[in-house]
Chain A
Amino acid sequence: SAVISQKPSRDICQRGTSLTIQCQVDSQVTMMFWYRQQPGQSLTLIATANQGSEATYESGFVIDKFPISRPNLTFSTLTVSNMSPEDSSIYLCSGGGNTGELFFGEGSRLTVL
């Protein structure tokens, strides 16, 4: 299986600030995605991180709020901008290859006060 590493694993932030989450994957992964898991809920896809170009966002998510970078095949960042308490969630980086399955990092647990 692929190895997905995320940091920070958790953080507590103040309203109005921004936080960048980093994700490193191993070479088996060709596609990278960012998911959000709100408390007690399932996973919602935020966007597909595209290497060297703008991410592809799902309905309800916009680049100004969740800017994503993927400068190379194995690294991506997600920024949660101008945070509010409603952004308190677990943010999960995931990667997939040709097998059709996704591998997940441990997640970044964000609390906004």
Chain B
Amino acid sequence: AQSVTQLDSQVPVFEEAPVELRCNYSSSVSVYLFWYVQYPNQGLQLLLKYLSGSTLVKGINGFEAEFNKSQTSFHLRKPSVHISDTAEYFCAVGGASKLTFGTGTRLQVTL
């Protein structure tokens, strides 16, 4: 069985500040890990993914995430956020394309 815990339901941050969105997972098998973003009234867009190899993964829009096996975490980071980053962010774990999603973190960027 697989599960994902996103520890923060909402994260308010000022523009140009750094941000970290936290994600912890559990899985009984080898994991694939993903972060998706959902802008208002839109579907989900893949930000980045970890399948294997380097534990630091870089994605689109300046986001990156680090896979930490010992802490079973896959936290998402951005060094400087923009107003346009305001959205819902979902962490997901899976394999063979079947994903389990976390409950989401609402990132609210203000001036």
Contact = CB atoms under 8 A, between A and B. Distances in A.
Nearest to B6: A42
Interface stretch (B19-27, B43-51, B66-74, B78-86): B43-51
A33 B42 contact: no
Given A42-B103, A42-B104, A100 B96 contact: yes
Interface in B1-48: 32, 34, 36, 41-46
A96 B43 contact: no
A105 B43 CA distance: 6
Given A1-B46, A101-B34, A104-B44, A42 B51 contact: no
A48 B97 CA distance: 10
A105 B90 CA distance: 16
Interface size class of A (residues with CB under 8 A): 20 to 34
B83 to A, nearest CB: 22
Interface residues of B, number: 24
A102 B43 contact: no
A43 B49 contact: no
Interface in A28-65: 31, 33, 41-45, 48
B96 A92 contact: no
Interface of A: 1, 4, 31, 33, 41-45, 48, 92, 96-97, 99-107, 109
19 contacts: A4-B43, A33-B98, A41-B104, A43-B44, A48-B98, A92-B43, A92-B44, A99-B49, A100-B49, A100-B51, A100-B94, A100-B95, A101-B34, A101-B46, A101-B97, A102-B94, A104-B36, A107-B43, A109-B41
